Homo-oligomer: A and B are copies of this chain.
Amino acid sequence: MNRYSRQTLFSPIGIDGQEKIRKKHVLIVGMGALGSAIAETLTRAGVGKLTIIDRDYVEESNLQRQLLYSERDAQERVPKAEAAKKRLNEINQDVDVGSIVGEADAQLLESVAPDMDLIMDGTDNFETRFIMNDIAHKFRIPWIFGSCVGSFGSAFTIIPGETPCLQCLMKKLPMNGQTCDTVGIIAPTVQMVTAYQTAEALKILSENNNALRNTYVTFDLWQNQTLSIKADATKNPDCYTCGHHPTYPNLHYEVATKTAVLCGRNTVQIRPSGCSNISIEGLTIQWRKAGYEVSGNPYLVSVLKGDYRMVLFKDGRALIHGTNDVAMAKKVYHSLIG
């Protein structure tokens, strides 16, 4: 009995399916809770190549739910993509793991995507997910959405040319402040989302697409509810991402979120694209509930997060005070807004 014997004994995979899995290359965008669990599962399953991208380093508050990382990684502030690669190599040296420490923006994703058989969502913000959605359709690569906060999570498999895309489902970039930094998260929620995501991944990698779920699954583990929702009716033939005349709007500079370092002010400005959807009142309530110090007026709100202060204007523009580092500023921004 060899290393993958329990997986090849599972008849829909078998020896042939295992060989197919071994030949595939998977991109994981984001190596937080979802990304690290997905990476561990696919590495153990014997995928051929894995490329992992993350801009962040390991922190103590990650350890409660993010697999692969140890206390030492947090103490040494090792970049997540590097810490993950090291542990993945200990788990299965046959898997070729490529790690990229950097921002998963349109440019980077366009450069790595053409090689991929599958893209997995391990990110924590919708800005990146909308870019992934465009990339996946431009290069016709399946991608598997997943997200969660608290005890609530969702997963959906997007197959270009077949299913509705993220744009069809969500219409606008959601910016409702439902993040792990505002409402928390328990580890079982992550495990359940990744169980749905990786089951679908194994179907695609072993070329069992006929077994795909075809529904948007959403659940609340604390409230003991699961819904499996048909999404076909949302598919928009005029969608700019998956419709007849795609323009892939999130890959263009004029639509992308803009950042600028404000010289001499130790501040980064972040300006999302026009199609965002921000409610200052809603975010304020959420941040107060989460225990952040918040003040504001009808035109803007100011919130303190650790060493940084974010000032958010009604039009969605934000100033992150306390840093000249764009990556750090975006991290603060996404952790509070989504």
Contact of A72 among B1, B90, B213 (CB under 8 A): B90
In the complex, whether A245 has a CB less than 8 A from a CB of chain B is no
A residues with CB within 8 A of B: 1-13, 37, 40-41, 44-46, 60-61, 63-65, 67, 70-72, 90-93, 150-151, 180-189, 191-192, 194-196, 198-199, 202-203, 208, 211, 213-215, 221-224, 226, 228, 290-291, 306
Name the one of B64, B194, B199 contacting A7, with C-beta atoms under 8 angstroms: B64
Nearest opposing residue in chain B for A192, CB measure: B195
Are B45 and A187 in contact (CB-based, < 8 A)? Answer: yes
Q: Which chain B positions have C-beta within 8 A of A1?
A: 61, 306
B contact residues around A46 at 8 Å (CB): 64
Known contacts A71-B92, A191-B198, A226-B226; can you find 19 more A-B pairs with CB under 8 A?
A: A1-B61, A2-B60, A6-B184, A7-B186, A10-B184, A11-B183, A13-B186, A41-B187, A45-B186, A46-B64, A71-B90, A71-B93, A72-B90, A188-B195, A188-B198, A192-B195, A192-B199, A211-B222, A224-B228
CA distance A43 to B285 in the complex (A): 32
Whole-angstrom distance from the CB of A90 to the nearest CB of chain B?
A: 4
Taking a contact as CB atoms closer than 8 A, the residue among B60, B151, B184, B214 that contacts A199 in the complex is B151
